[in-house]
Structure 1
């Protein structure tokens, strides 16, 4: 069997209808040389059964015990056959020409091993404008990626070999696993940008992980990881350390104000320990 050019990986947990919408947006792509891998992360609402019945052999459905979105994505990566990987969160949706446009971009720009598109945001059912800090950029974006996550997983197309070199999603991160991965990638590689809205992101749902955990706490952890494995004194190391100092100051001070003195003092001490 000839391997597909693109492996699409969709993790899901208790999102029957949303996942159906996401899968339909994959199967309706104008670019069809793909496989669609759906990893059910231990759903308890019959999500897997519904997907198996509705899509049959059009998808590869993998079931696992509930281990989190990073484990689910990594399971998909482990069996992916495509040269390229594309991720789609189960509550997001692609426009029909997304993969066609990205494959053409990568062919025309061999200097890039990863590209993303711009996107449309909906929050609680209403279309909203992206805040300036979240607007997508291309090229060398490591400095921009320090404050917040500048790459949306659902917007990405990347060479599978890039993850073999950079490492997969960190399964110990409850949130900001994408921020952690993109720090590693953007510190080494430029990111291509297609300035066309080819992704629809839906936010504001109560089950979104980003709203259930403090993101700054995990961004601090991701920055610590990156700083620990990169050479001190490099310009990008200094930039990352400055970002760490700022996040520790804000999060640590917030902990103290909320009466979490032990956690606050621990966070505030991190930059001094890493100098």
Structure 2
């Protein structure tokens, strides 16, 4: 019988001592094994690193805080598996998340990226930060976000890792590159992630995000033009 492939899980975190436990609990509640769990701690000054180290088998990598793209890339360089998943400290996976995605990728060897739907979870609509669109929180969108992702490691060899220029939108830029490179992406029509909404995880940098997205669009158009010129 062929052994189950290992899956590397990358969790970037800084100063989230309580939340990181919830995220790791959801990782270790997965019905799937084996897992290679990597926590990239960006210079926490609370008990975050110690909390992560209290879980057997977790590798905690310490680095100075240089932003999420650097943390993602640090984790990717350390993986031991050919399948990679990401989780944020304030998110929770459903227990079957990894098992379902691995099964799909085994059945579809030409697929390199698998994403799923997710659901927003919030304690109270009355305490949401200003500017939050309440109707969106009732949706179950398709998640072109890293926390729903499972990806084959070879994709990073092919298109590169996360661009540190995009501190707030590196995942969007990476998905855009993957699309232009012709990477095969499949969507699983199933909610496998609960994304918790609270004041601490909603960015107040709307202008900075818009600037990054504009640059991503410009580079995408330029990439398309170069591709057209070579045809």
**TM-score category by the smaller chain?**
0.7 to 0.9
**Equivalent-residue separation in structure 2 for 1:74 and 1:95 (angstroms):** 25
> Which residue does the alignment assign to 1:221?
215
Q: Secondary structure at the match of 1:37?
A: strand
> Which residue does the alignment assign to 2:131?
none
1:232, CA displacement in angstroms?
A: 4.6
**Equivalent-residue separation in structure 1 for 2:26 and 2:16 (angstroms):** 15
After TM superposition, list the pairs within 5 Å mapping 1:179-190 onto structure 2: 179-187=172-180, 188-190=182-184
**Equivalent-residue separation in structure 1 for 2:52 and 2:138 (angstroms):** 37
* Aligned counterpart in structure 1 of residue 169 of structure 2, from 170, 176, 180: 176
> Which residue does the alignment assign to 2:225?
231
**Equivalent-residue separation in structure 1 for 2:204 and 2:140 (angstroms):** 17
1:168, CA displacement in angstroms?
A: 0.7
Q: Secondary structure at the match of 2:225?
A: coil
> Which residue does the alignment assign to 1:23?
24
1:109 is aligned to 2:103: no
* Runs of 5+ consecutive residues of structure 1 not aligned to the other structure: 137-149, 235-275
TM-score computed with the length of structure 2 as normaliser: 0.85
Distance 1:167 1:23, change over 3 A: same
Q: Secondary structure at the match of 2:157?
A: helix
Q: Is the 8 A contact 1:173 1:218 kept in 2?
A: yes
> Which residue does the alignment assign to 1:198?
192
After TM superposition, list the pairs within 5 Å mapping 1:65-76 onto structure 2: 65-76=64-75
1:132, CA displacement in angstroms?
A: 10
* Aligned counterpart in structure 1 of residue 147 of structure 2, from 145, 154, 157: 154
1:51 is aligned to 2:44: no
Q: Is the 8 A contact 1:95 1:198 kept in 2?
A: yes
Higher relative contact order (CA 8 A, sep 6+): 2
1:222, CA displacement in angstroms?
A: 1.5
**Equivalent-residue separation in structure 1 for 2:148 and 2:61 (angstroms):** 22
1:124, CA displacement in angstroms?
A: 5.0
After TM superposition, list the pairs within 5 Å mapping 1:62-101 onto structure 2: 62-101=61-100
Aligned length: 217
> Which residue does the alignment assign to 1:237?
none
TM-score computed with the length of structure 1 as normaliser: 0.72
Deviations 1:80-139 (A, max 9, x none): 01111101111111010000000011111223111011111124546x764799832xxx
Q: Is the 8 A contact 2:40 2:62 kept in 1?
A: yes
> Which residue does the alignment assign to 2:141?
135
CA RMSD in angstroms, aligned pairs only: 2.5
Deviations 1:12-70 (A, max 9, x none): 01111111111111111111111000000111222112322x21x42000111111111
**Equivalent-residue separation in structure 2 for 1:233 and 1:169 (angstroms):** 21
Q: Secondary structure at the match of 2:190?
A: strand
Q: Secondary structure at the match of 1:14?
A: coil
